[in-house]
Amino acid sequence: MEQNSIGLVVAMAEEVRPIVRRLGAHRKGPAGRFPSYHCRLDGRQVTLIQSGMGTEQASEATEQLIAAAQPRIIISAGFGGGVCSGLTTGDVVVAGRTLSLRNGTIADAGPLENARFLHALAESWPDAPFRIADGTIVTSSSIVQKGAARQLLANKVLNPVLDMETSAVAETAVRSGIPLIAVRAISDPADEELLFSLEEITDRQLNIRIGKVLVAMAKNPRIVPQLIRLAKNAKLAGTNLALVLDKLVRIA
C-alpha cells in the first residue's frame, strides 16, 4: 500500500466531472465494472471510483476501490439534499455522523472523523465564498420526501443532508479498518421537494437514462422547470465540492 494513497467514492458523472477537472492531469481506467480516475496531488496518489447511485453500488465500488488502490483514507463525496432550514444551495457539509434511512426507520451508521478537517479548512480558507459546515449524512435507499425525513429525525441531528451512498461506503470502510471522510454539497435545499421518483428516470442499476427523463418530462411537464433549476444548482454544488475536495486531499 502506498503510504499517501487516498480513495474517493463518487456516485454520478455530474459529480465526478468537476472534481476530476479540479484535480488536474489524470489517467482513466476500469476498476472492475466501475470507471476510475487516478492522479497524483502533492505527492499523494488519488484514486476516484464512480460508483453509480444507491447503497448496493456504493458498497461494491468501495470494495473494488480498496482492492485496487488500498487507500489509507476514503472520502465519500457528492451532492446531497438539505433536510432542514439552515443549509442553502452550494453549501458543503463535512459530516461528523452518518445515519441510514430504510423502510421508514432511522439507524445510526456510525461517527465520522471531521473536526480536524473542518478546523484545517477554516484556518487555510477563512474567506471561503460559501459555507462549510459540520453536519449529518442521512443515507436513504430511495428518494424520500424531505418532510417525511424531518419527521423521522430527532431535533438534535445537526444539519442533516440526504444522500444515497454514504452509509454503505462507511460500513465497507469500517470492515476494512479504513477511516472515512464524508462530504456533501447541497444541490437542493430543504424547501425543494422533488416532483418525480427515482424509478421514473433511472434503470435497474439506478443509472440516470436520458430517454426515461424525456418520457417523465412528457408525462409530467411541471417537472421541467425543476429539472432546469436542479441542473443549475448542480453546477454550483459541483464547483464548490471540487474546491473543498482539492483542499481536503492535500490535508488528509
Domain boundaries, the chain: 5-194+240-251
Helix axes 223-251, 13-23, angle to 10 degrees: 40
pLDDT per residue, tens digit, the chain (252 aa), is 456 899 999 999 999 999 999 999 999 999 999 999 999 998 899 999 999 999 999 999 999 999 999 999 999 999 999 999 999 999 999 999 999 998 888 999 888 989 999 999 999 999 999 999 999 999 998 878 898 899 999 778 999 999 999 999 999 999 999 999 999 999 999 998 888 877 788 887 677 788 988 998 999 998 999 889 999 999 999 999 999 999 999 998
**Three cell numbers written together for 7:** 480513495
What amino acid is encoded at 107 in this protein? A
**How far apart are the C-alpha atoms of 114 and 112, rounded to whole Å?**
6
**How far apart are the C-alpha atoms of 134 and 132, rounded to whole Å?**
7
Q: Which helix (H) or strand (E) holds 46?
A: strand 44-50
- List, in sequence order, the alpha helices (H) in the chain: 13-23, 55-69, 115-124, 146-152, 166-175, 198-201, 210-219, 223-251
80 near 12, Cβ under 8 Å?
no
pLDDT value, residue 2: 56
Q: Which helix (H) or strand (E) holds 181?
A: strand 180-188
pLDDT value, residue 103: 86
Q: How many residues comprise the chain? A: 252
Give the CATH number of domain 5-194+240-251: 3.40.50.1580
